[in-house]
Amino acid sequence: MIELSAAAVAEATGGVPTATVSPAVTVDAATTDSREVSAGTLFIAKPGERADGHDFIAAARTSGATLVLAERETLDAQGRPDPAIIVDDVVSAMGRLAAYIVERIRKHSPTTVIGITGSAGKTTTKDLLASILATAGPTVAPQNSYNGEVGVPLTVFRAALDTRYLVIEMGADEIGNIEYLSSMVEPDIGVVLMVGSAHSGKFGGVENIARTKGELVEALSPDGVAVLNRDDPRVSAMAGRTRGRVVWFSVEEGTFPLVDAELAEGAVTFSALADSLTTDGEEHPVFGLKVGAGTDAASHPITSGLIGRHHASNIAAAAAAAAAAGLDTESIAAVLNGAGATSRRRMERTDRSDGITVINDAYNANPESMRAALQTLAMMGRSTGRRTWAVLGEMLELGEDRIREHTAIGTAVVRLNIGQLLVVGRGARPLYTSAINEGSWGEEVDFAEDLDAAAQLLERKMAPGDIVLFKSSNGAGLGGLGDRIACGPAGPGPADVPAPGDRKEQSQ
């Protein structure tokens, strides 16, 4: 983080210093986790769902925190007020401080801020894009999936004055979230990946999700660039909602470059296409990457290290965003060729010594990403002749569509000819029932009430050569189960493997 005085923190957040704050004190790091504190850190005492950050102020100060951002005054062991900036709402104050830091960085040096949103693929695209941009200058991108009203400021707090590229992942739980995050960082480039049914229960329908994701491109200035998925009708329709120029990306076969006669002349500057898409024997996407404005754009061969055909769209999006940021196609292709996942539990593959392959894709789930993962699993089994397992948990926050969507996934498992299905948890039981009704029974389908029961069943029934996919929403906990099975019989239990994002730093 850029170095800030206590007075600057107070000014940026609108807070009031306690009597013990020294005018000379400065901070050069910020965190909501007392375990991450070192000398010179601003400890942010954020009230949370499981714990109140104010209860950890003493521990943070012992570890070296020189200043606290808090909602109330607390006392040290001697009865003196802890040195703190007191605000009405810590989370809102984090947003104001992040906006102040972005403004300071922009004044210091040329900085391109890139926002990424979508119902699926945000973290993978963010990781790919950050890898490309890092070859051209100092780049800061979110850790894990820090993408909400807490996660975005935490990402900004990691930026230095010389940051050339600032990549911001933007999630949403309700209408207005993306607008708020965009006002915080004022993106120069906005990338919208896809609109799915994640959180449709909270949003009140898919159209409201589209409305919310489009808030990113609405926030762009006339000099900004909207990078849009031409293959998703709800995303392509966002071209009419932005003042900026439009860049398309696509994996569908068609005329290159991609054009749209309904847009004003010159509004589309160029496009990125994953051409002649196929997959290799390990289900890695293979295609020719074309980026440019003319039909003579060169095709660069890409064999991705990611698993799953669906990732080609994320790769094309990263390429289009990097090109919009000014990088040349050769440099972009050089990074993307062979690039795999860098964040946990995104089609994360582990090959056990006994011949069992574990695919942990249980960081998050919605009906679209669930189908994509299952299709990849089916193709892996088909191409190798190995038995496939789908270990599936609940997809959360689907609202009134919950039963219907889980039922549809159960049907899909059977129709894709997945060898074994294990459904975990009561919330996902309609998926189990659907698979039975579709014709899967006996030894082909099982139900486990909880993670421990699922682990015991798997260790009893798995065999060398099996490919085992774990997929659920993060809150269902299958990510930890996948880690346990990947470690083998002696691995840690699900409770021993913390799920990422415990501090509400990510949304959809």
Note if the bond before 257 is cis, omega within 30 degrees. yes
Query: What is the model's pLDDT at position 499?
Result: 36
Phi, psi of 47 (to 5 degrees): -65, 135
Query: What is the model's pLDDT at position 500?
Result: 34
| Pair 28, 3: CB distance under 8 Å | yes
| Token code pair at residue 427 | 């919330």
At residue 39, the 3 state secondary structure works out as coil
Phi, psi of 350 (to 5 degrees): -130, 125
Query: What is the model's pLDDT at position 144?
Result: 76
| Pair 257, 297: CB distance under 8 Å | yes
User: Which regions in the chain score pLDDT beneath 50?
Assistant: 491-504
| Pair 31, 43: CB distance under 8 Å | yes
DSSP element (H, E) containing 480: helix 478-487
Angle, helix 90-108 to helix 6-13, in steps of 10 degrees: 110
| Pair 413, 435: CB distance under 8 Å | yes
Q: Which domains does the chain have, with CATH numbers?
A: 4-88 (3.40.1390.10), 93-250+308-326 (3.40.1190.10), 348-496 (3.90.190.20)
Calculate ∠ Cα 362-418-434, nearest 5°.
80
At residue 463, the 3 state secondary structure works out as coil
Query: What is the model's pLDDT at position 201?
Result: 57
The Cα 48–Cα 32 span in angstroms is: 10
Calculate ∠ Cα 382-388-392, nearest 5°.
130
Task: Please list, in sequence order, all residues whose beta carbon lies within 8 angstroms of the beta carbon of residue 196, skipping any fewer than 6 positions away.
Answer: 119, 120, 206, 209, 366, 367, 368, 369
What pTM, to 2 d.p., does this model score? 0.90
Query: What is the model's pLDDT at position 488?
Result: 83
Look at phi and psi of residue 299 and say left if phi exceeds 0, alpha if psi is from -120 to 50, else beta: beta
Strand partners, 117: 192
Phi, psi of 397 (to 5 degrees): 60, 40
